[in-house]
Amino acid sequence: MTKVTFEEKYYSAVKETVYKTKLSNGLTVSLLPKQDFNEVYGIVTIQFGSVDATYTSLDKGLRHHPAGIAHFLEHKLFERENSEDIMAAFTRLGADSNAFTSFTKTSYLFSTIDHLLENLDLLDELVKDVHFTEESVLREQAIIQQEREMYQDDPDSRLFFATLANLYPDTPLATDIVGSEKSISDIQVSNLKENFTEFYKPVNMSLFLVGNIDVKVVEEYCSKKGKEVSNQFTVSKEQLLLQPVKQTDSLRMEVSSPKLAVAIRGNGQITEAESYRYNILLKLLFTMMFGWTSDRFQRLYETGKLDASLSLEVEVNSRFHFVILTMDTKEPVSLSHQFRKAIRQFSSDTDITEEHLDLVKSEMFGEFFSSMNSLEFIATQYDPMDCGETIFDFPKILQEITLEDVLEAGHRLIDNGDLVDFTIFPA
C-alpha cells in the first residue's frame, strides 16, 4: 500500500482549505472539508467532451468519431456487468447520482449523507470499465435520439446551439453536444470502446470531494485505491480550424415572441492559465453594457423592446472562446443592430464607468458568496485539473480588476472578433 498525503492550500478570500494530491496511477484528487454540512458531493471529471470526437492517437494517428460520442459514452457507463443500471446501486445506498457532458469535459457525481466510501467504490466502478453490448447500444441510440428531439423542440436550446453553429461552422461546436440524428445512429461499440480506452485513464481524470468529509479517512481510502499504474495519456487534442462565421440566420418555431441571439467569437489565443480571469473580465464588460443595471437595458425595458429574459453566456478556454447574448424581443432586427453597434463601439460606451464597474462587482460578489453555500455549485464549478486560477480565487481576482483591465479584455475579444446574430421567428 502506497501512503497518500495531501498538500494543503488555504484560500484566504473564501476562508477555505483545499487538500490536493496525485495518486501513483495518475489520478488527481482534491478535498474540501466543510463540517457545517451533513452532505458530501463526489465528482469524477474526465478531460473529454463533445469537441474531442477528432483527435490524434500516438498509436493510431488521426482518429475521427461520430459527433456526440462523449455524451453517448457518458450514458453507457451507467450499465453494469449484470446489465443493471449503476444508478440503482447509488440509490440503494441513499445517494443521488447524475452525469453531464460539456464541450470539453464529462463528469459523474453523487451526493450522500452516509456510506461515503461505498459510494466512492461505485464511482470508481463507473469509470473503470465498460460492459455494453451491440444490443444495448442500439437501445441507447433510440433513447438519445429522443433526447436530441427534445432539445430540438426547445426554442432556447435551439437558439443557443444554432448560434454556436454559425460562430463555428464545420467544427465540432457546430453540432449539439448530444450529436446529430445521423451521428448518433453511426455510433458503434467499437467507437465507444476506443474512446473509453483513450480518454478514461486516471492521468486524464480527477476526483473532487466537498462537504462533511474526514481527510484522514479519504487518505487511507486513496492509499488502497491508487496502486495500479496508469498508461500515459497518449492523445493529442485537435485545435479547432476556424472558418468564416455565418453572420446572420433565422428559423421559425412555435414561439409566442421572436427570440434573438447576438454573439461574438474570439479569434485570438487564450492560455488555459489565464482563461478563468478572462472569463470574469468579459462577464463584467458585457454586464455593464447590457445587464439590468445598464442605462441601455433600462431604456429598452421601459419602451417594451426587451424583457427580463436577457441572458449572458461566456465560454473561455484555450481552444475557443465566445460570448452569446440571448433575449425575447418583438423587435429582433432593430435590437440586433443596436447590440452589434454597441459591441463594436464598446470603448466609448457611457455604461462603462468606474461607478458602474463597482456596482456590477458588488453584485457578482454577492452572487458568488451565496452560491458558495451550495455544495453542488462548488462541486460542479471546481476542477482539480484546471490550470491557473479557480473559483476559490474569484473574490481576489474580482477585487483586483480595474476598469482598464476590462477595457483591455474588450479590445482583445472585439477588435478581431466576429459577430453573428440568429433569430427564431414565430411560425
Contact 106, 74 (CB under 8 A): yes
Give helix then strand counts, H and E, for the chain. 15, 15
Residue that has been written with the C-alpha cell 453490448 in this structure: 133
Among this protein's residues, is 74 annotated catalytic? yes
Nearest to 144 by CA among 85, 226, 70: 70
Which of these is catalytic: 16, 74, 198, 408?
A: 74
Nearest to 281 by CA among 346, 327, 328, 326: 346
Amino acid at the residue 228: E
Nearest to 136 by CA among 72, 89, 52: 72
Nearest to 183 by CA among 50, 31, 307: 50
The two beta strands, 311-316 and 259-265, are unpaired
Contact 392, 13 (CB under 8 A): yes
- Helix 189-199 vs helix 69-76: crossing angle, to nearest 10: 90
Which segments of 87-193 are extended strands (E)?
96-101, 106-112
Please give the C-alpha separations between residue 181 and each of 79, 150, 343, in angstroms, as whole numbers.
23, 12, 35
Grid cell locating 197: 480506452
Residue 216 CB burial class (10 angstroms; 0-12, 13-18, ≥19): exposed
Q: What is the CA radius of gyration of the chain?
A: 23
For CA atoms 246, 247, 252, 254, give the dihedral sign: positive
CA gap 354, 345 in Å, rounded: 18
Amino acid at the residue 422: F
Contact 165, 173 (CB under 8 A): yes
Contact 388, 273 (CB under 8 A): yes
235, β-bridge pairs = 57
Contact 47, 203 (CB under 8 A): no
Angle at 142 between CA 139 and CA 144, to 5 degrees: 110
Catalytic residues: 74
